[in-house]
Structure 1
Amino acid sequence: MGDNTGTATVDDGFTTFSEEHAQGQLIPRIVDVALARAAHVLVADATTRLTGADLLRRAALVRDAVTAHHAGTGTAPQSAPVAVLRGHDAGAVAAVVGVVAAGHPVVVLDPTTPAPRLRHYVEAAGATLVVSDAERRETAAQVAGTVVDPDQDATRRRPDHVEAAAALLGTPAAPDDVAVIVYTSGSTGAPKGVACDHRSILHDTWVSSEGTGAYPAGSVVAHLLPMAFSAGVTPTLGCLLAGARQELFDPRRRPVTELPQFLARVGADVLLASPAILRGVIASLGPAGRLPGLKTVTMAGETVHGAELAAVRRAVGPQCVVRNRYGSTETWLMTEYPITGDDEAPEGATPVGWAVPGARLQVEREDGTLADEGTGRVVLTSRWLGGRYWRNPGKTAEVFSDNPDGSRTFRTSDVGTLGPDGCLRLLGRSDHSVKIRGLLVEPGEVDALLFAQPDVREALVVGRPNPRTGRTALVAYVVPDGPRPQASAIRAVVRENLPSHMVPEHVVFLDALPRTERGKLDRSALPEPARSSAPFEIPRSSWEEIVYEQFCAVLELEDLSIHDDFFELGGDSLAAEALVSRIEALGVPGVANLGTSRLAEAPTVASFAVAVRSTNRSTRPTLVPLRPEGGERPLFLVAGAGSAALALRTLAQRIAPGIPVLGLQANGLENKALPDWSVERIARRNVATVREQQPTGPYRVAGHSLGGLIALEMAHQLRRAGQEVELLAVVDSFPPDPALMPLPPQAGALARLKEGLSLALTGIKAHAGLGHYVRFFRQGNFLQRRYTTAPYPGRTLVLVAADDVDAGARRQWGPHLSGEHHVVEVPGEHMSILRDPRVDRPAELLSRWLRPDVVDLTGPALDGELADR
């Protein structure tokens, strides 16, 4: 089966993949490999291992289901794409093969993307059918009119693998037929479907596997990249075509700290990952950690700096080739920069390298001419470019051009420098894409969403740098259709449909968007955004003027309204501590021992100025109402060492509505009092405060860092008092085992004496500025290294920051929990999991555990992320 001309036969019976295979089509080659390796595993995930025979049978079931659905509809195969919505699993690979074998272009959907956005892709493609599974059936039903799950159809006859192979070959395709449609959004915001034909995919497989030697036949490839994107669907098909085994690992559902063990267990010799994933893995390994056994590591998608590259090379060893790659959805792989053996890592940004076989790189100068070296827009020419924009010939003509020799040219949106030796360095993008919190954002995607709202006539989203901080923020310019909506409502719509880093920081309402005399949008005429949508008002008294100045200084703003919310302007717990310290340092009579809890209750200049001068002091300064609203039993949330409870405000705000969240912090931290000198005493004080607010159980207690140990002790004490504790939640805390905690830094005798004296003065002797919080932080670390306790028998959720250097120690809670308990790793580091964009996942998990009657905690509702330890 298939065209084997001019190729060599390998031991398994199929021919080594060659450039000549690019003249054919996908399915015959995949069937050849699967038949030759009928008894060998080709695709595997955490629960399923598919041999070649298994793959053929599973793919044939998908093909039959797709064919049956479209039978009699009169639609030509190429006009009826079919979507696949599954996880990063073996079933998804079989589904992709089955759809292509049925003669339909496949559109792979990302299960982490909101349903409205997926539906947009499906409608743009013209698909009416989605192949899914039981876990995602509900979402799939929101995306397309018909959902099929061939694996669950018990009535369907299961063919043997030879029959299945024949069925898969029953719908021949031409080399230039569209096989895959990958969606990527451009600066216009309309999703662009890049239609890729069989020939271009086959050639890219040869380039990625045999042409560069990255994963030849017999390789074991650790595949981490989402299949909905070009970087993920390429190895999904490429491994099948080349005869490499792909081992699927989903870093969005499994912590990267598990990756080293995974690689060793499956015997991987090739790792395909993004630079961000590799950073997390290297951080978890530590300086001496290694990833043995790998022959190739490939990475692409963002800039890799020399120091990062050096760290990867230390971990993988000199026998492993590290490949920095560059490509696009329209072109597949374009360049590669391999580093082998003892090659020195480059300084600064690593080049993306030289054009792959069959491709030619040039740069387009400002005058429109092409050059073989210099700086300009990156242009690629190849006879293998088969991509085009689905249903959009006008957009295709803007960037693709056909040449007399049969090759095609593609003008990218990237700007780079091409050296005399042909090596390419990228400099940035030529379109309107911006980086927000290190993530690339196409503002047009937000435009498109806002345009779809009934109360919005026009919308334009741009990135604007802050002139003082240099930080880029998204600004949405909105023309209302009728009464002006609230800015908060605009942000809420975006947050419901797109990732949090795509939510505009500012919303500007206009009567009309500015346009040029030719009717095109005039971005240069867009006004600078106001700092807030709240009514603007200047300070009305000398005292408000003082508070106003401190707000501006801490937030690095030149001006603001006295009604602007401190936290909406970007203030966090550290900024809040700095603000309180600055105001106390002014020495204003009557202003002392202020505490950040006041700012949580009164977050504007106007309200905070009144609160600071209020004589109604709290009798419980350790209690901070982070979100007091709600009719359910409250969650008591304990702050970490030296941390004000306000540090937990963002997490508290993201907990499910209806659940009040009350923060607890150390005595003496923000009031004039002596601190408690044991975890047990802190817990005893907190229990008294808790029972004032809620006299009887069931109680819900949680804590971050040291706060997790304090919450544990509180739960023990409440149970000993005969009270029910419904939930204990520990957020990135060391277990109560001093051996697992980092040792304090070594110091000389004099330094230890000074440290001891400073520690003894915690809460007694005043310390200027933030040094007061540092003392409490050191005191808290001192206490946690001296706390042990019996195993806790109650229901417990443990969250661990997967990307933190201490993640390994912080997940060792098993011996200390004797009741129902789950340990879940969430993306982020120790403090970043309390802030955007990482805080959403911890908040979601806590919310679900606080409502066990609503959500099945061990079922698919948690996307398989919970694991008994």
Structure 2
Amino acid sequence: MGENAGTDLVGAGFTRFSEEHAQGWLLPRIVEVALARAGQVVVADPGTRLTGAGLLRRAALVRAAVLEHHRADGRDPQEVPVGVLRGHDAGAVAAVVGVIASGHPVVVLDPTTPAPRLRHYVEAAGADLVVTDAERRVTAGRVARAVVDPDSHVGADPSDSSDSSDPSDPGCDPRTAAAALLTRTAAPDDVAVIVYTSGSTGRPKGVACDHRSILHDTWVNAEATGAYPAGSVVAHLLPMAFSAGTTPTLAGLLAGSRLELFDPRRRPVTELPGFLGEVDADVLLASPAILRGVVTALGAQGHLPGLKTVTMAGETVHGAELAAVRRVVGPDCVLRNRYGSTETWLMTEHAIGGQDEAPEGATPVGRAVPGARLQVQREDGSLADTGTGRVVLTSRWLGARYWRDPGKTAEVFTDNPDGSRTFRTSDVGTLGPDGCLRLLGRSDHSVKVRGLLVEPGEIDALLFAQPDVREALVVGRVNPRTGRTGLVAYVVPEGSRPQASAVRAVVRAHLPAHMVPEHVVFLEALPRTERGKLDRSRLPEPPRSSAPFEAPRSSWEQIVHEQFCAVLELPDLSVHDDFFELGGDSLAAEALVSRIEALGAGGVSTAGGTSLVANAPTVASFAAAVRARNRSARPTLVPLRTEGGGRPLFVVAGAGGAALALRTFARRLAPGFPVLGLQANGLENRALPDWSVRRMARRNVATVREQQPQGPYRLAGHSLGGLIALEMAQQLRRAGEDVDLLAVLDSFPPNPALMPVVRHPGLRAKAKEALSLALTGIKAHAGLGHYVRFFRQGNVVQRRYTTDVYPGRTLVVVAADDVDASARARWAPHLSGSFDVVPVPGEHMSILREPRVEALAALVSREIAGAGADRSPVVPGELTDR
């Protein structure tokens, strides 16, 4: 197209998206809709609300930065992709638009993926530039040769309406920004997006998608199916680095819906119901796993009013799960079970209205979307319109190809004489006479885990590269009770056998979380056939526990047993199996407590919460403890490690956090001393909470002195717990006691100016929040929302706390990858004794979990042993520049 092609499409309004738009151009349509909605919010996250004008300005900044970087290289932009590494936020959406407007294909990088993996994507794509933000600038610098952060040019209000004629000015007139974005509009068959998927040979596959296919997919997703047409408010929870998240991101901008972004990987799912109400969402896009979490969090009486559509895709959805979702959304909401792939976008949909019965067993994925034809490939290679076989899709809108790999493209894509294309999937399904498709599994060895496609060969390749591994084979195993798939790694060691946790840690350091095996089985050799080929049929089932098996022995044990199985997603377990050995963590323990409380049997609601799980981690012991109503005189005290004869370390949990969340950290500390956790009063006992840090500390000091009458004391605390530990140290010193260690673990200093302020979208939301806080510890809250209330109450309390300069020895640990790292490092003005401020890899919560917790535990262990006494303090300002 010419230099200014497409600008005639820009007008004061925009027409409803139609199939004809799929034959047009991507950028002009986005600009057209954004200009028509210049003063309306088009995309928002909890911290930013971008109007159409704001989106155009931010996108123009990104485009200018990308073109400036490539100004002198003389290469065709279509051959040089550009990465985007940001969070699930409005700035990421603007960055994607800006890169596409530059003529370069965009590669969206997932910020939760390890840096080595991201670098692999960037190198495979041939990109040398990544657009990022301040929080992820260090990681971006590790994966690409050049990094730009257009946000550094954005003022406090990126959506303000001041006008300028310079498109690189964030306050420029939106039409000026629009003209800049349309200066070099791409052709419909140009590549707009490259999405990387797992590869069976250990090398990820880049799927290159053109503008025309994205436009048609928008029409299918938003209008042809009626899922989220113009004017809809879409709650968007799906990561943009995957095709399931790319689709609604671009479709919302093209169709004229409003995108409200919620990141379930950084916010608890218990906050989602409140979020949906605050933003008035009528469409929810989520994975089945997230929906299961929402249903659990809402409890038996909870509901999600106002939703007109809920879409789900990526993994098998069973009829019982649909019935549970139907209960919380009501009869007026349409449930849409969908099936698609990165190569094809949306392929089928099965819509279920309020009067339709939920199917038994696995839910069908439905009929082909408009413009597509479904067939199955039989064993003899012929295609059929009904029957069972490999699923094949034909459409004239298939514009994808594998980036820089024409050979692999030719293996699965066929160009037909009538101008259509055919794609052979790796899925096996049954196609009925009515055109409805039911999926049966994969034709190769790839599996879907938590809705994401995994090629186990990629994990095999990583494990084979380890010096202590001779052979490795990863397979998917379906849980017969839940129907869900998990990964099992079969490993033949080279020499002495490594720890299973070490094998998992290697995978976690290089691959996304959903690719980490749930089980590791060590073998002397992999089973093989007479011809030397791997014999997968002889692979043993993974053992779950070393404890002897015993079934529930009473009706009460049977009830508790069912809740353990449900939370751990296991078909069965012995009443002597350890909850934590089976993969339970603090979040799972909270879910278990919620389920037990919801039963209302045997006084369960007064039973002692997650501390009881820590002390009685088997079905037998937990059932006995609950039935006996063994309530502790100090419900705020949770023993995390009782072994050792030395002076204990007291660790205070953060706002809304059960002390059990510190269990992994406690277990990773050097041996020789007990570790005792402290949590908020009222969190897991019937009592009013303390409404100041000083009162919280005073209660904890009384508990500490019961356990250890005289000093010196060792104190630590995470998040708000760090401030409480600081106040405990102050009170103990004023009482004449010695405190030889205060360890502050990623806490804001006692300076309210440094702490983030909660912003509410309106007065009604603010009033509801105030009422909810007032009821903390008084009125029960459905599901896990009880913990969320204490979290918000703790945030209010910490913003009111100040104290004198602390003169004792202090270790300040800062999560270096967290957005608030710089603020949490500014402890120097509040400490007059010996202190160190030390960064560790990870974010605020991840430093308490594997594999990040190892560094934190090693640091605190050295401090307790006295190794840190002579170190020079780390200058806080160096934290972000290291």
Please tell me the TM-score bracket, short chain as reference. 0.5 to 0.7
Q: Tell me the equivalent position of 1:287.
A: 300
Task: Give the secondary-structure state (helix, strand or coil) at the position aligned to 1:740.
Answer: coil
Match of 1:250 in 2: 263
Aligned to 2:220: 207
Map of 1:532-571 to 2, 5 A cutoff? Answer: none
Looking at structure 2, the residues matched to 421 and 491 of structure 1 have their Cα atoms a distance apart, in angstroms, of: 45
Letter of the aligned partner of 2:712 in structure 1?
Answer: T
Match of 1:634 in 2: 649
* Shift in Å, 1:379: 1.5
- Name 1:342's counterpart in structure 2: 355
Residue 691 of structure 1 is matched in structure 2 by: 708
Q: Structure 1 514/82 Cα, relative in aligned 2: closer, same or farther at 3 Å?
A: farther
The whole-number CA distance in structure 2 between the counterparts of 1:153 and 1:839 is: 30
- Alignment pair present for 1:522 and 2:539: no
**Aligned counterpart, 1:30:** 30
1:338 partner SS: strand
Corresponding residue of 1:359: 372
**Residues 819 and 31 from structure 1, CA distance in 2 versus in 1: closer, same or farther, beyond 3 angstroms?**
closer
1:105 maps to amino acid: P
| Cα contact 1:383–1:406 (8 A) shared by 2 | yes
2:160 equivalent in structure 1: none
Provide the rounded CA distance (Å) in 2 between the counterparts of 1:660 and 1:138: 37
- State whether structure 2 residue 165 is matched by structure 1 residue 165: no
Partner of 1:607: none
Paired letter, 2:198? S
Q: CA deviation at 1:334?
A: 0.8
CA distance, structure 1, for counterparts of residue 195 and residue 19 of structure 2: 23
| Cα displacement string for residues 215-253 of structure 1 (whole angstroms, at most 9, x for unaligned residues) | 112222221111111111111111111122212121222
Q: Is the partner of 2:713 in helix, strand or coil? A: coil
Q: Identify the residue that residue 15 of structure 1 maps to in structure 2.
A: 15
Instruction: Report the equivalent of 2:206.
Output: 193
Map of 2:766 onto structure 1: none
8 Å CA contact retained: 1:306, 1:347: yes
1:275 equivalent to 2:255? Answer: no
- Deviation sequence 1:577-619 (CA, Å, 0-9, x none): xxxxxxxxxxxxxxxxxxx99x99xxxxxxxxxxxxxxxxxxx
Q: 1:636 touches 1:661 (CA, 8 Å); kept in 2? A: no
CA deviation profile, 1:30-67 (whole Å, cap 9, x unmatched):
11212222222222221222222222221111111111
Q: Write the letter of the residue equivalent to 1:691.
A: Q
Q: Distance in 1 between matches of 2:638 and 2:338?
A: 52
8 Å contact from structure 1 (residues 651, 839) kept in 2: no
Q: Contact 1:735 / 1:816 at 8 angstroms: preserved in 2?
A: no
Aligned to 1:789: none
Match of 1:588 in 2: none
Instruction: Give the equivalent residue in structure 2 for 1:63.
Output: 63
Aligned to 2:778: 740
Pair 1:351–1:49, CA change in 2 (3 A): same
Cα–Cα, structure 1 residues 687 and 728, in superposed 2: closer, same or farther, change >3 Å? farther
Contact conserved, 1:637 with 1:702, CA < 8 A, in 2? yes
Counterpart for residue 558 of structure 2 = none
User: How far did 1:695 drift?
Assistant: 2.8
2:333–2:354 CA contact under 8 A, matched in 1: yes
- Of 75-84 and 502-511, more deviation after overlay is shown by 502-511
Q: Distance between the aligned counterparts of 2:779 and 2:743, measured in 1? A: 25
- Cα distance in 2 for partners of 1:399, 1:334 equals 16
Q: Is there any run of 5+ residues in structure 1 with no aligned partner, and where?
A: 533-547, 555-564, 575-595, 601-621, 666-678, 744-801, 827-837, 862-869
Match of 1:433 in 2: 446
Distance 1:474 1:278, change over 3 A: closer
Normalising by structure 2, report the TM-score. Answer: 0.66
Q: Is contact 1:495-1:503 (8 Å) kept? A: no
Cα offset for 1:133?
0.7
CA distance in 2, matches of 1:566, 1:267: 43
| AA matched with 2:80 | A
1:408 to 1:117, Cα distance in 2 relative to 1, 3 A: same
Secondary structure of the residue aligned to 2:708 is helix
- C-alpha separation in 1, matches of 2:585 and 2:188: 58
Q: CA deviation at 1:281?
A: 2.4
Q: CA RMSD in A?
A: 5.5
1:177-576 correspondence runs (5 A): 177-434=190-447, 441-453=454-466, 459-463=472-476, 474-476=487-489, 489-499=502-512, 502-503=516-517, 505-506=519-520, 508=522, 522-524=534-536
Q: Is the 8 A contact 1:683 1:713 kept in 2?
A: no
In the TM superposition, what is the alpha-carbon distance from 1:87 to its structure 2 partner? Answer: 0.9
Distance (whole Å) between structure 2 residues aligned to residue 527 and residue 737 of structure 1: 54
Task: Tell me the residue number matched to 2:757.
Answer: none
- 2:784 aligned partner: 804
Identity of aligned residues (%): 63
Confirm or deny: 8 A CA contact 2:130 2:144 kept in the other structure: yes
Shift of 1:426: 1.9
| Contact 2:776/2:793, CA 8 A, preserved across alignment | no
Change (3 A) 1:116 1:289: same
Question: Which residue does the alignment assign to 2:105?
Answer: 105
Structure 1: which amino acid aligns with 2:641?
A: L
Secondary structure of 1:180's match? strand
| 1:103 Cα deviation after fit | 0.8
User: Which has the larger Rg?
Assistant: 1
Deviations 1:622-663, CA, capped at 9 Å, x for gaps: 99783979999834589xxxx9x9x88962456577996625
Secondary structure of 2:259's aligned partner = strand
The answer to whether the 8 A contact 2:364-2:438 is kept is yes
C-alpha contact (below 8 Å) 1:337/1:352 kept by paired residues:
yes
Q: Shift in Å at residue 810 of structure 1?
A: 4.9
How big is the shift at 1:86?
A: 0.7
Q: Separation in 2 of the partners of 1:146 and 1:376? A: 47
Residues 607-618 of structure 1 mapped to structure 2, 5 A cutoff:
none
The equivalent of 2:89 in structure 1 is 89
Instruction: Output the amino acid matched with 1:337.
Output: H
Residues 766-792 of structure 1: per-residue CA shift (max 9 Å, x gap): xxxxxxxxxxxxxxxxxxxxxxxxxxx
CA contact (8 A) 1:506 1:529 kept: no
Give the whole-Å Cα distance in 2 for the aligned partners of 1:153 and 1:629: 55
CA deviation after TM superposition for structure 1 residue 156, in Å: 8.8
What amino acid maps onto 2:187 in structure 1?
A
Q: Separation in 2 of the partners of 1:553 and 1:373?
A: 47
